[in-house]
């Protein structure tokens, strides 16, 4: 289906650019979100055309698994492979040091496992995701086991954050992750030291993982529209 929505066009272009970088005979981490969905679609199309052979995907979520099956990408698990060649995943914010906030789709725990195992981690974003400082536009997602929600929210407030439990859309009650946990989104006025904050939050009892990805991304592909034409730049 063709679209005139510039954000969708940027997502499609950058998804295609990432899919073009996948090589035959490789193990591919399949990220989550609307941008990575295009990469999964294009990887599947390259497989169908015979441009790519012998690919196996490691999904980062139920969504990625469903899409991979839809587009004919064979799947495996981390129990069956010793490494991942390339992972492709989206992000909610990217700073100038290639540090990320992820978790807009509540999949950041599995994403961090898969993305950080990859020999090359390619991030796919539209230009609206680039920020000078993490936390400027997006709340930081924190996955928490259900019985620890209140104490973790209290600790996040003590750290200076404003936490809120993520609620479902078209579902009464909170968002439940693929692991059966809950997500607290936290507004920090300023994230000055993402590496330290990542560790501090992960040290809170009951926290499974937060959405700060520090020093994990190798390549950022950014979809842009310049003079009305879509293009992709690499950072």
Mind telling me the catalytic residues?
A: 111
Give the whole-angstrom CA distance, residue 164 versus residue 139.
9
Give the whole-angstrom CA distance, residue 220 versus residue 235.
5
104 belongs to an annotated ligand binding site: yes
Q: How many residues bind ligand 5RP (CB under 6 A)?
A: 18
Residue 32 interacting with ligand 5RP (CB under 6 A): yes
155 belongs to an annotated ligand binding site: no
Give the whole-angstrom CA distance, residue 126 versus residue 233.
10
Nearest residue (CB) to ligand 5RP, 1 versus 158: 1
In the bound complex, what is the minimum distance in angstroms from residue 141's beta carbon to ligand 5RP? 7
Quickly list H helices, the chain.
Answer: 6-20, 34-49, 62-70, 108-117, 149-158, 194-202
Residue 161 interacting with ligand 5RP (CB under 6 A): no
162 belongs to an annotated ligand binding site: no
Q: What is the DSSP letter of 172?
A: S
Residue 89 interacting with ligand 5RP (CB under 6 A): yes
Residue 15 interacting with ligand 5RP (CB under 6 A): no
Give the whole-angstrom CA distance, residue 56 versus residue 102.
24
Interface positions with ligand 5RP (CB under 6 A) = 31-36, 89-92, 102-108, 111
Q: Residues annotated in the binding site, as ranges?
A: 32-35, 89-92, 102-105, 129
């Amino acid at each position: 289906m063709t679209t005139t929505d510039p954000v969708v066009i940027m997502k499609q272009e950058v998804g295609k650019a990432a899919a073009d970088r996948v090589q035959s005979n490789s193990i591919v981490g399949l990220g989550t979100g609307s941008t990575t969905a295009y990469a999964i679609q294009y990887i599947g199309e390259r497989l169908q055309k015979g441009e790519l052979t012998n690919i196996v995907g490691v999904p980062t979520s139920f969504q990625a698994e469903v899409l991979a099956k839809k587009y004919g990408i064979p799947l495996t698990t981390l129990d069956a492979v010793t490494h991942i060649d390339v992972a492709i995943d989206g992000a909610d914010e990217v700073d100038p040091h290639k540090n990320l906030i992820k978790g807009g789709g509540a999949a950041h725990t599995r994403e961090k496992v898969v993305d950080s195992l990859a020999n090359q981690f390619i991030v796919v974003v539209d230009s609206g995701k680039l920020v000078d400082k993490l936390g400027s536009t997006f709340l930081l997602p924190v996955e928490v086991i259900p019985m620890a929600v209140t104490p973790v929210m209290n600790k996040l407030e003590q750290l200076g954050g404003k936490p809120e439990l993520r609620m479902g859309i078209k579902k009464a009650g909170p968002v439940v992750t693929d692991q059966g946990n809950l997500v607290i989104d936290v507004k920090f006025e300023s994230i000055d030291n993402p590496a330290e904050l990542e560790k501090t939050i992960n040290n809170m009892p009951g926290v499974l993982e937060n959405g700060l990805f520090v020093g994990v991304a190798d390549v950022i592909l950014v979809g842009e529209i310049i003079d009305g034409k879509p293009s992709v730049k690499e950072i």
